[in-house]
Amino acid sequence: MSEVKQPKQRKRKRLWLALAALVAILAVLIVPPLVSVSRYKARVTHLISATLGRPVRLSSVEVRLLPRPGFVLNDLTVAEDPAYGAEPVLQANTVTASIRLLSLWRGRLEIDSISMDEASLNLVRSAPGLWNLDSILRTAAAQTQSAGSIGPAAAEKPVHLPYFEATHSRINIKNGVEKLPFSLVDAKISLEQQSPGEWRIRLRGQPARTDLSLEQADTGLVRLEAELRSASELRQMPLRLDLDWREAQLGQLTRLLLGADAGWRGDLTGQLHIEGSADAAQIKTRLRATGVHRAEFAPAAPMDFDANCSLVAHFSARAIDNLVCDSPLGAGHLRVTGNLPGGIGREPNFSVALEKIPVAAALDALRTVRSGLASGIEASGSASGTLSYAPASPEVPASAGHRPSLKPELGPLTGSLAVEGFQLSGGGLSEPIQIPKILLQPMSVSPGQQANDLQPQMLGMTVAFPAGGTTPLTIHASLSLSGYLLTVSGQASIRRARELARVAGFADAAALNELAGGPVSVDLTAEGPWMLTARPLPLLDQTLAHTLPSRVLPPAASADSLAGTVTLRNANWKAAYLVNAVLISQATLHISAGQLRWEPVVFSYGPIKGTASITVPAACEAPLACPPSFQLQFGALDAGLLQAAFLGAQARGTMLSTLIERLRPTAAPAWPRLEGTVKAESLLLGPVTLHQPSATITTLANGADISAFDAGLLGGRVHGSGVFHAAATAKEKPSYQFEAQFDKLSPQAVGQLLGVRATGSAFDGHAKIELTGFTSGDLAASATGALHFEWQRGSVAATSGSVPPSLARFDRWTADSEIANGAVTLKENQVKRGASVQPVQAAVPLADPPRIVFAAPKQAQAKR
């Protein structure tokens, strides 16, 4: 009998299940159209608006029964408080609000959770230092007792606020109305009310910048988990926060924070734990870095550190108490303790203890924050000691008639650091620099130096070591938290100076490769910050400046500066583009913030002697070009010697010259770009002497451009311009192009040059000529061009030979001449005397001396 009942019971159970499924399907198909969606749209909007304390807008609401009953909200927008801006605080295209099923049995409709995807959240900080989340959380906490359900029974008893969740979302950071480039992408956010007034927040996302293209995988992953309870103000809200920033690559991290790659490499992990409130928060941090080094070199042992710090932060009072930081470093240990009280007139106090800290770690740290140091340099030795900063309290007056003494008798910075066994080697140093012991002690800041509240004193040291000169090289160093001040004086050999400049990372150290000779005397001062910031950090400057004491933040970074003099004596300088070496009897380099100036430079270049001054701008902003400028002053010059000195004499066809020709490079080195003036007492151009010549010259890669030339010539003046092109290869010859204007030339001087007697008024002219070659014969044979002159009221008489009768006395002589085939030949010309106009035939060979030759008259030619 029982066996017969069992199949019937199974059939009945299956039938009830089928009926239940059919009812559920009918409910899904029939119930949603019967529900008044517009009725719930207003109530859902009111609920979210009352919860967040912000106006809320929805485009539409849909009812959903599967997989859980709820609502689908489209185009959700939560408006912002006008005090924080006009942009919405939250935007989401699609939001799902799930319903608590148990509330349906009680006849009420309550929202259990609100989920959104691809939402955009704005975190805004106002000028007074408040965040927009402050008012949102306080409003939500106040609504806990009265919000959370939909329907007439909503106020029967307090309920939990819905669970908020957002995935694949973006968090933007704004400073007032300005949207900062920092954001958190692919973020997952959850906000849960565990009990009335108690919240739990979870956050995970990737830091990013909107104005740069970053490798998102290298900026790390940020995870945050916080628990907080409601309070009247956000700063009084008790909280417990854990923050991790893992797998961050230093190169992308610096691009994220600074906007540019600072050249650091390595992996960084940071951990932060906060417990308490903004008025008194117990903070513990751990910062671990592995493989830290500069991008331009890979050291054998990259710098690693694991720093642990604990402190009590009073954000409202901008003060820090009980600061303790410990970190092992190499074989040594570093410990920092102190307090940074807030308030005007309250000074910080702290101490730093070093125990056998390797000097190599300090060098690695310097390389990390500064680029340019020689990559192969190595340092050995260790530093130990303790430094304490404890400013004395002002004396309290015994009576109203006595003023307190605000100046302590001793400096606030006490203690010392000793470096034992210091040695600097590698990096191009031919021999290491060894200093057995270096002592760093506090020193007072001179009136000319600036110091902030944390550094009324600086650490000072003095070291001296031989550098190849007659006197040792002495270095005085003053070190502060923000930067350094160095003075270097003494003598060093050129080789040693070149090595030290290369180790220090001077950009122009390669220029010393072309110098040789005796020791150089230096008197230099260098100062600057430890770290150069490409541009300010808005998030750090605008946020932490209102949170931490102002004395904790470092001063604004500025560029390095170098000033002083370097003096050379009895040295020689050989550049690749010069044929010979320049012998320098004396030269002084003046270094300032804006330029480098060599003055005076007393030199000789082959048989040529002169003085010079050269100015090199320290920096030039694109697209402007600011090449170095020079001024050269000579005595009496000979053009042939000048050409031979700068270009070299033409090689003769001998076996030795042929061998030299084959050994020369196929292309001549390019000249650097220079601009300046050249002056001389006189310049001998074959049979002609120029008096007080002056030229404005711009050097080109393969020659020079003479933009202006002026000199005294034959009792008058000559003004002109020209271009010079050096020989590109050893088989080519230099070329010249000149244009000149002659003013008021003396007929007597011109006649004496041409071998005739000439009188009359001064005459003018202009010429254009092109020449090629080394020797005067080459130049004369290759010369081509034109010459034009005008001469009024003159006469020409022969000293030997004959002169055309029309030149015996004339009113005006106008002539155009052709320069070719080694001579200047008269072409179209007119000699006017009264109404008579006659041409003259003549030629002047380009020789020394250039004697004029007139053609014989036609009658004389017929007789012959």
Calculate Rg over the CA atoms of the chain: 44
Greater model confidence, 844 or 647 = 844
Greater model confidence, 238 or 7 = 238
Which letter does DSSP use for residue 162 in this model?
Answer: P
- Asked whether the beta carbons of 590 and 616 are under 8 A apart, the reply is no
Residues near 187 by Cβ (< 8 Å), separated by ≥ 6? 166, 168, 169, 170, 171, 203, 204, 205, 206
Strands 842-845 and 675-685: unpaired
**Two tokens at 139?**
């409003």
Residue 740, pLDDT above cutoff 60: yes
Residue type (1 letter), 254: T
Residue 362, pLDDT above cutoff 60: yes
- Asked whether the beta carbons of 573 and 512 are under 8 A apart, the reply is no
Residue type (1 letter), 334: L
CA distance linking residue 498 with residue 232, whole number of Å? 67
812 has which bridge partners? 792, 832
Does residue 729 sit in helix, strand or coil?
A: coil
CA distance linking residue 124 with residue 543, whole number of Å? 11
Q: What is the pLDDT of residue 542?
A: 44
Residue 454, pLDDT above cutoff 80: no
The DSSP element (H or E) to which 204 belongs, if any, is strand 198-209
- Find the length of the chain: 864
CA distance linking residue 856 with residue 804, whole number of Å? 8
Greater model confidence, 188 or 14 = 188
CA distances 382 to 329, 368, 462, Å, are 11, 19, 18
Q: For the segment 560-591, what is each residue's pLDDT rounded down to a tens digit?
A: 788 899 999 999 988 877 777 889 999 999 98
Q: Which of 97-101, 457-461, 618-622, 682-686 has the highest mean pLDDT?
A: 682-686
CA distance linking residue 183 with residue 29, whole number of Å? 43
CA distance linking residue 771 with residue 778, whole number of Å? 8
766 by Cβ neighbours in 10 Å (0-12 / 13-18 / 19+) ranks as: middle
Sorting pLDDT into bands at 50, 70 and 90, what band is 854? confident
Q: Is 26 left (phi over 0), alpha (psi -120 to 50) or beta?
A: alpha
Instruction: Share the mean pLDDT of the chain.
Output: 78
User: Position of tokens 């190499």?
Assistant: 330
The DSSP element (H or E) to which 288 belongs, if any, is strand 281-294
Closest CA to 161 of 52, 37, 72, 88: 52
Q: For the segment 140-176, what is each residue's pLDDT rounded down to a tens digit?
A: 666 554 444 444 444 444 445 678 899 999 998 888 8
> At 235, phi and psi to the nearest 5?
-70, -20
Q: For the segment 800-820, what is each residue's pLDDT rounded down to a tens digit?
A: 778 888 888 999 999 999 999
Residue 55, pLDDT above cutoff 70: yes
Residue 631, pLDDT above cutoff 90: yes
**Two tokens at 328?**
């092992």
Residue 522, pLDDT above cutoff 90: yes
- Asked whether the beta carbons of 201 and 194 are under 8 A apart, the reply is no
Helices (H), 324-471: 359-369
Q: What is the pLDDT of residue 66?
A: 67
Residue 315, pLDDT above cutoff 70: yes
- Give Dmax (Cα) for the chain: 170
CA distances 691 to 688, 704, 714, 763, Å, are 10, 22, 9, 19
Greater model confidence, 661 or 340 = 340
Sorting pLDDT into bands at 50, 70 and 90, what band is 299? low
Domain residue ranges in the chain: 25-211
Greater model confidence, 352 or 35 = 352
Say which range, 358-372, 450-464, 676-690, 741-755, has the weakest mean pLDDT. 450-464
Say which range, 30-34, 87-91, 540-544, has the weakest mean pLDDT. 540-544
Question: Which percentage of the chain shows pLDDT scores above 90?
Answer: 23
Q: Which of 52-66, 247-261, 614-628, 770-784 has the highest mean pLDDT?
A: 770-784
Sorting pLDDT into bands at 50, 70 and 90, what band is 667? low
Q: What is the pLDDT of residue 764?
A: 92
CA distance linking residue 7 with residue 502, whole number of Å? 98
Greater model confidence, 343 or 743 = 743
| pLDDT, average across residues 99-120 | 71
Question: Which percentage of the chain shows pLDDT scores above 70?
Answer: 75
- Asked whether the beta carbons of 564 and 581 are under 8 A apart, the reply is no
Residue 278, pLDDT above cutoff 60: yes
Q: For the segment 387-444, what is each residue's pLDDT rounded down to a tens digit?
A: 998 876 544 444 444 443 334 345 688 899 999 999 998 888 888 999 999 999 988 7
